[in-house]
Structure 1
Amino acid sequence: MARQLYLGPLTDNRRWDRVTLRSDDVIVVTPPKCGTTWMQTIVALLFSGNPEIETDLSIKMPWVDIRMRDMDDVAAHLEAMEHRRSMKSHTPIDGLPLDENVQYLCVFRHPLDAHISFRHHVRNVPLRLFDMWYPEEDPDRIAFRRFLDGGPEGFDMDFMPLAHILRHYEAALRVADQPNVTLFHYADMTRDLTGCVAQVASILGVDHPADQMEKLIQAATFENMKAHAERFAPSGGKGFFKSDAGFFHSGTLGQWEDVLATEEIAAYDAMMDTHLSPDHRAWLEYGDAAKEKGRRSDPLS
């Protein structure tokens, strides 16, 4: 399958051409604000077996696609690593090099929860790049209009429009039958973190004693990560965010219900129904928990 080209203000997926993949690499692939840092933290904890590990994700598990770091430095740093490596990407999986020996962990979240979380995120970063899409004062509700109208690639993609989330999901579904590609959902991680950590451990071929696993799971809870945000936020403790704790805004589900207007939700519903089958939509919004809500849910159907 030919790789799709994704070039945005922050993203250049051609940078992956400089990475020589290893057979035990792990790549966390997600749209923004869908559980990237959470999954990376789980991987870091399982790799190390140490609940007190300094994750330092931006250096130890770099975001390869982002233009803000010199790719020569990133490639050299990755090549010099003697331990098992993990990397992250906000590029849809059809834009990544696919290697049958590499594990790809794809994480998704209800698109409206991801959108509201992204609104909070852009207020917490010192970049004015997002102001035109996410104005601080938004009486005309520009942010949501652009969420619905933005395209899946090019200039729009790094502002996380719905089309880009759908591109991520549709690309992941096309390869979800491969044994080295696994889809996770934020809602399921919230509902059953223990089960999620156990699944990731199995995928990675990592085994720790039960008492040690309990400590790792506790370290991976949202509450612990927020309480120690300087350790767990990307570039935490380095002054990149206005507030490291603000990176972990709330982690709750259904934030959008009290924010969006009825007509906005109707426009979103129409777009979702146009692009996804009922089963695929149910899983993207609620994961396996959709079954508990009486919705059909099978991302592979």
Structure 2
Amino acid sequence: MSPPKLYLGPLTDNRRWDSVDIRPDDVIVVTPPKCGTTWMQTIVALLFSGDPEVETELSVKMPWVDIRVREMSEVAARLDAMTHRRSMKSHTPMDGLPLHDEAQYLCVFRHPLDAHFSYRKHVRNVPLPWFDLWYPEDDTDGITFRRFLDGGAEGFDTDVMPLAHILQHYKAAKALADRPNVTLFHYADMTRDLAGTMETVAALLDISHPRALVDKLIQAATFDNMKTNATRFAPSGGKGFFKSDAEFFHSGTSGKWHGVLTPDELAAYNAMMDAHLPPEERAWLEYGSEGTNPG
């Protein structure tokens, strides 16, 4: 197998994975940003613990390995010291990650426009000014969407999530989807059938709990519960990383671009999607297993 592709951004560096010794029972959540990463991590944390009141502490207990914010030596030492089953997070496409034959890779996707508009909200909640280059607060000229369409999948653009990066994520995961330890999930399917999603994840991870407890775990993983208890569920919740932990879980709804994007912007998006994906793959990436707009 070829070595992992290099993905370097201002915020992330996938070479950090070189310091992680992957174990056979590890669970790695792999997504573009704002596609259900924290949701899937929470599902894993709930299933691991069997405790609907679990303190997830995702940033520490299920770290985002790629991010440069913490010294990699500290992250690696913390992971090595864990004697329980581990889970980690990555926003690097699958072709940039170490691929273990047994560790489980849970890849989550969302309609690219939903992810983009969620990211617009997200950057206003994160005190990192370099996002303003792509996401100016007063964007009367439509710079944000132009850069979403024009940005590349790698380099500086990696961390501001252009459409090319989402497509690269999808193609890299799809290329490995025949492996029993690489599974693709869709935000729309998770929304439509959270119970079914949790059952699928539990089966993949070979975890079982009594039915009554599973029902409590499902309730704990609902969007409303996570938003209500944002300090507990948001990454680095209660530590001041976000301006508002609750705003991290802004609405969880879809279709925010309707009435916002111009016909020309939508036409440019459609052209790019059609140029990169066959119809059936585009339908899945946008709407999940149903393949159609539910609205």
TM-score (norm 2): 0.98
Structure 2: tracts of 5 or more residues without a match: none
Residue 258 of structure 1: how far off its partner (Å): 2.7
Tell me how far 1:262 sits from its aligned partner: 1.3
Distance, in Å, in 1 between the alignment partners of 2:293 and 2:267 is 23
| Alpha-carbon contact 2:31-2:169 (below 8 Å) kept | yes
Output the CA distance in 2 between the equivalents of 1:125 and 1:292.
31
Q: Contact 2:50/2:217 (CA < 8 Å) preserved in 1?
A: yes
For 1:255, the equivalent position in structure 2 comes to 256
Distance 1:259 1:114 in 2: 15
- Report the Cα distance in structure 2 between the residues aligned to 1:262 and 1:222, rounded to whole angstroms: 32
In structure 1, C-alpha distance between the alignment counterparts of 2:90 and 2:106, rounded to whole Å: 10
Gap runs ≥5 in structure 1: 294-301
Tell me how far apart the structure 2 counterparts of residues 59 and 185 of structure 1 sit (CA, whole Å): 25
Partners of 1:136 and 1:10 in 2: CA distance? 20
| Alpha-carbon separation, structure 1, partners of 2:269 and 2:36 | 22
Which portions of structure 1, spanning 4 or more consecutive aligned residues, are displaced by more than 3 angstroms? Answer: none
Q: Distance in 2 between matches of 1:256 and 1:68?
A: 32
**How do 1:43-58 residues align onto structure 2 when only pairs under 5 Å count?**
43-58=44-59
Counterpart CA distance in 2 for 1:148 and 1:41 is 31
CA distance in 1 between counterparts of 2:125 and 2:63 reads 20
Match of 1:98 in 2: 99
TM-score (norm 1): 0.96
The residue that corresponds to 2:145 in the other structure is 144
1:53-64 correspondence runs (5 A) = 53-64=54-65
1:298 paired residue number? none
How many angstroms apart in 1 are the aligned matches of 2:289 and 2:190?
A: 10
How far is the alpha carbon of 1:289 from its aligned partner?
2.2
Distance in 2 (CA, whole Å) between partners of 1:12 and 1:289 is 35
- Counterpart AA for 2:240: G
Q: Distance in 1 between matches of 2:60 and 2:250?
A: 23
Secondary structure of residue in 2 paired with 1:184: strand
Aligned-pair CA distance for 1:292:
7.7
- SS of the residue aligned with 2:243? coil
Distance 1:73 1:214 in 2: 37
2:246, 2:293 → 1: CA distance? 32
Per-residue CA deviations over 1:132-155 (Å, capped at 9, x if unaligned) read 100011000100000000000011
Aligned to 2:163: 162
Q: Where in structure 2 are the equivalents of 1:8-23 lying within 5 Å?
A: 8-23=9-24
**Which amino acid letter does the alignment assign opposite residue 126 of structure 2?**
V
Q: Percent identity?
A: 72
Deviations 1:169-194 (A, max 9, x none): 00001100000000000000000000
* Secondary structure of the corresponding residue to residue 175 of structure 2: helix
**Residue matched to 1:297:** none
Matching residue of 1:183:
184
Amino acid at match of 2:26: D
* CA shift for structure 1 position 11: 1.1
Aligned partner letter, 1:124: N
SS of 1:105 mapped into structure 2? strand
Amino acid at match of 2:234: A
Q: Once the two structures are superposed, what CA deviation does each residue of 1:26-59 show, in whole Å capped at 9, x if it has no partner?
A: 0000000000000000000000000000000000
Q: Distance in 1 between the 2:26 and 2:255 partners?
A: 34
CA RMSD of aligned residues (A): 1.1
Quote the Cα distance in structure 2 between the aligned partners of 1:100 and 1:292: 35
> Alignment partner of 2:88: what SS?
strand
Q: Match of 1:170, as an amino acid?
A: K
Matched, 1:132 2:94: no
Q: Does 1:195 align with 2:199?
A: no
Maintained 8 Å contact 2:287/2:293: no
Task: Compute the displacement of 1:253 (Å).
Answer: 1.3
> Is 2:79 the partner of 1:78?
yes
CA distance in 2, matches of 1:180, 1:9: 30
CA distance in 1, matches of 2:220, 2:35: 19
Query: How far off is 1:256 after superposition?
Result: 1.3
The amino acid across from 1:9 in the alignment is P
- The code of the aligned residue for 2:273 comes to M
Distance in 2 between residues matched to 1:240 and 1:15, nearest whole Å: 22
SS in structure 2 of the partner of residue 64 of structure 1:
coil
Q: What CA deviation, in whole Å up to 9, does each residue of 1:202-226 have, x standing for no partner?
A: 0000000000000000000000000
**How many residue pairs were aligned?**
294
